[in-house]
Structure 1
Amino acid sequence: MRRLERVAALILPPLWSNRVLPALDLPLRGRTAANVAFATGYTKLFRGNPNWLSPSGFRWGLSSAAVVLTGYAVALAIPSLRRLPLEIAVRAPETSTLEWIALHIPVGTVLAEEAIFRGTLDPVLADSVGAPVIGAIDFGLWHIQPARAAGDPVLPTILATTLAGLVFTELRRRSGSATAPALLHLAINAGGALAPTAARWVDGLGR
């Protein structure tokens, strides 16, 4: 029974992200709500425990997020590095950048994904051989359809998000909470979404 539970826990997230959710053909707000609903049901079904209010989770998460945000700040301060985000289009589909940053990234992406993968799947796989790698690969596979929808190359996206999944899983292991990877995840995604706008603003100040 435990093996069947693990198989189901592995199959359901990529199936939802790549098949079921796209088939629903929802607008952005609908997709955010659907992802949260799926994450809630998945967490309850597999008895997840994100441990969101863990002080250790906040400490590890804020420290990790600070490193990422510092990296973004350094990139914006150096003209040769600032050109990279200047060449990236601002991605805020179907909504304003503010709503994208304030709602859809933290709730529809970060909260939902961390509840599913670090808060639930990681504990389900805890006793499995190669559990961190298996969970990280599943996280990578979750991003196949989102990469296609965004026009991003699929294989590099899978590899990048698998690597990120390994880092997030390690943060959860060290902190005992999904809050730590959630805060790092938020810093990466929100910082990346804001970087093109911030780069244009900084570039304008120098003229």
Structure 2
Amino acid sequence: MRMLILAVVVLAAANVLVNRLGPGLYVPVCVVTAAVLVLIARRSGITWEELGLGRSSARRGLRWGLVLVGAVLLVYAVGLALPLTREAFHDERAAELSAGQLVYRVLVRVPFGTVLLEEIAFRGVLWAMMRRRWGAAWATAVSSAMFGLWHIQPSRGLTGSNAAVETLFGTGTTGVALSVTAAVLGTALAGVVFCELRRRSGSLIPPMALHCALNSVGYALAWAVGRSWGS
């Protein structure tokens, strides 16, 4: 139990750091935190297989990952083609990025920062430690709730940067509170899906692939849509 508490404390400290330090330190903090969490899990007796990082499940995980990436590309293509959903891709934070910043965000920050830390933490270390103690259902419920709470700080600016979110919730204090609540609930539900992918495949590769595709492709499309709207 002490090692599980330690892992939660390390993750909480990382949440503060990644939201307060400059963008240049984001990826190093995420990589170091992920490594520390894995070390904590291993010291507590968690195996590589329990973490979803074992060799035996890697091939199956890769197959699942390829299918999931393809599904994301299809859904995004449909969403971009429909006028009703196209507005959801307009995000000022992405549109303001230069081409170089976009490449860094898509190929470095998202996969080696956001996805690496969040999947190692919530679907790897915490899920494995909780599953061993309380079973898969409780591990999924608690780690997913924590995943939702993890997104409180980064979701506070949604109403000012995303046109669809602003239209839905407004920009006042109430609108911000509602958008943050919706983001927390949405990411918690996404966490349940990620956990189930990890459980069924036995590997962290499928949730990592899905998470990375959603974020990286989403940023690229938001950047393209934002530039076309601004031109």
TM over 0.5: yes
Deviation at 1:8, TM superposition (A): 3.2
1:21-55 CA distance string (max 9 Å, x none): 44xx4221211111110111111111263417601
- Structure 1 segment 16-55 matched on structure 2, within 5 A: 16-17=14-15, 19-22=16-19, 25-47=20-42, 49-51=51-53, 54-55=58-59
- Structure 1 segment 1-207 matched on structure 2, within 5 A: 3-17=1-15, 19-22=16-19, 25-47=20-42, 49-51=51-53, 54-85=58-89, 87-91=90-94, 96-127=101-132, 128=134, 130-148=138-156, 153-199=179-225
CA spacing shift, 1:72–1:79, aligned 2, 3 Å:
same
Letter of the aligned partner of 1:64 in structure 2? L
Question: Does the aligned pair in 2 maintain the 1:36–1:107 contact within 8 Å?
Answer: yes
Instruction: Report the identity percentage.
Output: 33
| Structure 1 gaps, min length 5 | none
Deviation at 1:181, TM superposition (A): 0.1
Letter of the aligned partner of 2:118 in structure 1? E
CA RMSD of aligned residues (A): 2.7
Q: Aligned partners of 1:20 and 1:81: how far apart in 2?
A: 34
Comparing both chains, which one has the higher relative contact order based on Cα–Cα distances under 8 Å and sequence gaps of 6 or more? Answer: 1
CA spacing shift, 1:148–1:78, aligned 2, 3 Å:
closer
Deviation at 1:160, TM superposition (A): 1.1
Letter of the aligned partner of 1:154 in structure 2? V
Deviation at 1:89, TM superposition (A): 1.9
Q: Aligned partners of 1:65 and 1:166: how far apart in 2?
A: 18
| Structure 2 gaps, min length 5 | 161-175
How many residue pairs match? The answer is: 198
